Chain A
Amino acid sequence: MYRLLFLQFLRSKAVRAGLLLTLLLGGISIGIGHQFLDQKNAAIDEVERYQKQHIERNVELHKDDLGLLMYYLKFAFVNSPASLAGLSVGQSDINPIIQRITIKNLEGQRYDTDLVNPMNLQSGNLDLSFVLIYLFPLLVIVFTFNLLSEETETGTWRLVAVQAPSKRKYLLTKLSVRAVLVYAVLGILLIAAKIVLSIPLDVNFMMVVLLSIVYIAFWFGVCFFVTAFNKGSHFNALLLLSTWLGLLMLLPAGINAYITNRYPIPEALTTMISQRDGYHTKWDMDKTETLKKFYGHYPQFETFGYPTEGFNWTWYYAMQQMGDDDARKDTEALWQKIRKRESVSKRVSAFLPNMHLQLAFNGLAGTGLGEQLDFLEATNAFHEELRLFFYPMVFKEVSGNRVDWTKFTPKYWSQNTEGENPIRYLWPLLSAAFIVMLGCAVVFKRWY
């Protein structure tokens, strides 16, 4: 019986087309994820090589003037992508994973975007997370919209009603045939992704698997709920596709419009101007004044005194420092606003399974906005460390040859995930699935 149900189901052209298309696009998406990781890793290898040459060349040119040398030298700080990033590219296509910064004012450097074609951004990444979030619900819809109605429309339902020991059991068996197939496709794609992207079998990947399973169950629930009302096939198809359109496109787009309009970020532009003015206007101001402010920030350097005659590097880097210091208020406002945006969008998305899943995937893969902000904050610390190391040497006018440059290879950053239990991603989705299942159970009991 089970085998026959399978065969009967697989005879439908739409079913086979749906299976094939999902597998095909899933395959493409894994390939794209692989390419994405390859490109990022190649870029990291490149920065390793480049930084060595870059330092050697500039040390050779400017070793006698450490202040000038530090004007040119860039140090790489890398947010190397986890292999899960190939599964959920998230925001890491627009935000650079490599920061190359000098010890000059930081606010002017760290917001630079990566090279990216905006058309690609608009159309979005075709990564496995897209296939999971968008296409699997469609597959579920195609598989189940006529679960019951095809029987009533072809007249077989009466036969079933008479012959089957339990109508409920028959419907559930039919449903399980579909579920087995959909989960088989999911399994194939996840295993393929695991192998191709060499994803480690860790908690994060397990969470991705678990979340996907629950998400698909949610959609099975929605579809079963709709079909159980025993309306016509075309009514079901239409209602389910509209639900899909509403949940996956209209609602997120509406929420996005709300957030964008509710929390505009003029602070970004203000910071950009104030960091420039903070530094550049110091060229025309009293040097002692600037140095005083600088020593106010770093009292430990006051021993370098107040050289005011002509150009000197102590004063120069004090001015650079003022770019950051004078912009501090605006920077803080900017960060507050972005964090606010992030938290609002996370809170809202908890009510929308697909949005929540996307943010959860990004979070697990380290490619979300929150992770990018953490990386930027870590860049801040990295920059400060460089400053504190080089400032005294520059002020003392140490020769460039006396610095051990081999130490200055690119530094890597990785997300500190301690204390963050990934299980927390599961609750909103689990509750959504539970509510839908409950609805199904009620309807099912009443009708059959």
Chain B
Amino acid sequence: MSGGAHQTALLYHLGRTCQTIDELRTTLEMNSRQISDAASGLIQRGFVERVEAGCFQLTAEGHTAVANGERITSGPNGPHKSQRSPRQNTLRQRAWSAMRIRRRFSIPDLITDTALGDERGAANNLQRYVRSLRKAQVIRCLPVRVPGTAPSSPGFPQYTLVHDLGPVAPTLRRNGLVLFDHNSGQEIGL
């Protein structure tokens, strides 16, 4: 059993009365050290209290946890608060740099500037990224399209950069619902 499993077993075994380590050892398949460690973990979570040395009982929170059928796991113990640093030299990062340099661009321009040849679906990837930037009003679609050469081609939309957010490319978060600007640390709703 792992630490989380020991804690879960102890949580469901303890009742309102105080039980000692020796009593617990006879009923649970755990040695004294494992019981002591599991009890420490549950005390940290506020589910168990130590009545006296080596004697434990559930707290009100512990009873609620048992009633809710909670399982103790090794983590995560809370939300990730630190900001993930953006990845370097991705297709989108290169495309963002190209947008800042060109200021006026189409998707084929970005592919020419950034694709190294080993990316899968570079055009689709950039298409989705550009659509999100447009929704966030970071870029603007120009009324004039670049004419295509194929007989039925409607041409390619042209864009211009409206808000230069900075050197680090904004990334999509929460399943594409918001755009995160790493330069200012702010989220832009889409």
Interaction A to B: no
B-side residues, CB < 8 A to A, are none
A-side residues, CB < 8 A to B, are none
